Amino acid sequence: MSKLEPQPGIMEIALYQSGASSIDGVSDILKLSSNENPYGAGDAAKEAFRKAGQNLHRYPGTDHAKLRNAIAEVHGLNAAQIICGVGSDEVLQFVTQCFAGPGDEVIYTEHGFSMYPILAHACGATPIKVPERERVVDVDAILNACTARTKIVFIANPANPTGTMIGGNEVARLADGLPEGAILVHDGAYAEFVEGFDGGAALVESRENVIVTRTFSKIYGLGGLRVGWGYAPQAIIDVLNRVRQPFNLSDMQLVVAEAAIRDTDYVARCRADNARWRAWLAEALAELGIPSDTSCTNFILARFASEAEAHACDDHLKAQGIIVRRVGGYGLPHCLRITVGDESGCRRVAHAVKSFKEQAA
Ligand SMILES: *Cc1c(COP(=O)(O)O)cnc(C)c1O
């Protein structure tokens, strides 16, 4: 046994912690820990799911043409430059697997998404954590950290768990300032929550070194389906497709995702509803002395006076069946990340936080 040595980096990976979904002894659970859509999937996606499943003995298509064409139509993109994966996580994995290895550096930012260092380790590369400025991605700090070994820079924009965003000019400055041979990965898991935002697609059109990723897991309410996609220059897509397994997505995944992306009305309604209740929740918490940065996503990063207060509030919420996310692992021990629920969910959170504050006073 002792001769079995995993590849370099593998044993550096800390196992991913997902958001909890149950509490012992509590029945009326409100899960606000994984940035899921409180309304679930739209009717078109659910209908497609019901209809699918007649051909389980058949292998799915391998080129994902129908889904890629639908994505391209809806977003005004070139279908040939789209790649689909098992969640956007798989697309991110294709990028690290193809473009980084032992001796290479993969940059991510101070409070960046936890998958980035995991994926860097998984391919044997060295993850490099760069500071942010007041919970916002700092382009200059990233550019200063770049070396000849930098192969990939990951940013989520808007970001998780901070909810903050940088503007298109800043992203362009970052892409243009990277060393030769380095790729910018612009993770747009929350892009749909920003009205009119192209998720960085225009940057791809005019550059060779940018890939943008998107997911069906957040606004589409399909986290359980596991579908995401990436958009990149043809040369990058042609590389990524070599490591993509031919049958990485089932027919079920493909047809449901296609129905979801065409249901643009549902997305618009969810975006509007999220914006409304996000503002309401942020204000309700601010009135209780708990500030948050203006969020561009479907969650709020609530900042408490201390780690102890954040944990005490989390315990209080849990006792009432409300599950939110501790983010100490993201370097934010005094914060809790709270997904924006529907109206009753937001009211329930505000009410519970208020009772926490009153009980502490
Ligand atoms: C949720 C999330 C994803 C999406 O992951 P999937 O694999 O598509 O479910 C990607 N990046 C960030 C920053 C996220 O928060």
Taking the domains of the chain in order of start, what are their residue ranges?
10-40+265-360, 43-263
Q: Which two tokens stand for residue 68?
A: 């890629």
* pLDDT of 1 above 70: no
The pair of structure tokens assigned to 85 is 């994966």
Angstrom distances, CA of residue 163 to CA of 119, 148, 188, 273, 285: 22, 31, 12, 17, 16
* Ligand 1 atom with least separation from CA of 226: 9
Percentage of residues in the chain with pLDDT exceeding 70? 99
**Which pLDDT belongs to residue 115?**
95
Of 326, 188, 174, 196, give the one whose Cα is nearest residue 271.
196
CA distance 306 to 136: 20
Confidence category of residue 14, pLDDT binned at 50, 70, 90: confident
Q: What is the average per-residue pLDDT within 6-15?
A: 90
Read off the pLDDT of residues 215-226 as tens digits, 9 standing for 90 and up: 999 999 999 999
* Distance of alpha carbon 284 from alpha carbon 234, whole angstroms: 47
Average pLDDT, the chain: 96
Q: Take atom 14 of ligand 1 and give the residue whose Cα is closest.
A: 189
* Cα–ligand 1 centroid distance for 57 (angstroms): 30
Which residue's alpha carbon is nearest to atom 2 within ligand 1?
189
Residues 6+ apart with CB under 8 A from 124: 7, 8, 9, 101, 102
Which atom in ligand 1 lies closest to the alpha carbon of residue 218? 1
Whether 19 shows a pLDDT value over 90: the answer reads no
Over residues 231-237, mean pLDDT: 98
Query: What DSSP string runs through 57-107?
Result: TSPPPSS-HHHHHHHHHHHT--GGGEEEESHHHHHHHHHHHHH--TT-EEE
Please give the distance, rounded to the nearest whole angstrom, from the Cα atom of residue 288 to the centre of ligand 1. Answer: 30
- On the question of pLDDT at 361 being above 80, the answer is no
| Segment 297-351, tens digit of pLDDT | 999 999 999 999 999 999 999 999 999 999 999 999 999 999 999 999 999 999 9
User: How much is the pLDDT for 239?
Assistant: 98
Could you tell me which CATH class the domain 43-263 is placed in?
alpha beta
How far is it, in rounded angstroms, from Cα 281 to Cα 274?
A: 10
Q: Does the CA dihedral 10-250-259-34 come out positive or negative?
A: negative
Q: How many CB atoms lie within 10 A of CB 305?
A: 10
Q: At what angle do helices 87-99 and 234-243 cross, to 10 degrees?
A: 100
- CA 62 to ligand 1 center in whole angstroms: 23
Going from the Cα of 297 to the center of ligand 1, the distance in angstroms, rounded, reads 12
* Count of C-beta atoms within a 10 Å radius of residue 321: 17
> What is the whole-number distance in angstroms between the Cα of residue 290 and the centre of ligand 1?
26
CATH class of 10-40+265-360: alpha beta
Among 35, 37, 113, the mutation site with the greatest number of ligand 1 atoms within 8 A of its Cβ is: 113
Contacts of 200 (CB under 8 A, 6+ apart): 157, 168, 171, 186, 188, 191, 210, 212
Residue nearest to atom 10 of ligand 1 (CA): 189
How close is the Cα of 217 to the center of ligand 1, in Å?
A: 7
Angle at 164 between CA 159 and CA 166, to 5 degrees: 90
Residues 126-137: what's their mean pLDDT?
98
Read off the pLDDT of residues 84-123 as tens digits, 9 standing for 90 and up: 999 999 999 999 999 999 999 999 999 999 999 999 999 9
Measured in Å, residue 129 CA sits from the centre of ligand 1 at 19
Q: Which of 34, 84, 89, 339 to mutate to test the pocket of ligand 1 (most atoms within 8 A of CB)?
A: 89
pLDDT of residue 21: 78
Question: What's the pLDDT at 322?
Answer: 97
The set of protein residues with a Cβ atom below 6 angstroms from ligand 1 is: 87-89, 113, 156, 160, 187, 189, 215, 217-218, 223, 228
pLDDT number for residue 3: 84
> Would you say the pTM of this structure is higher than 0.85?
yes
Reply yes or no on whether the pLDDT at 139 is more than 80. yes
In the prediction, which pLDDT does 26 show?
Answer: 82
pLDDT tens, residue by residue, 199-211: 999 999 999 999 9
Reported as a single tens digit per residue, the pLDDT across 243-266 is 999 999 999 999 999 999 999 999
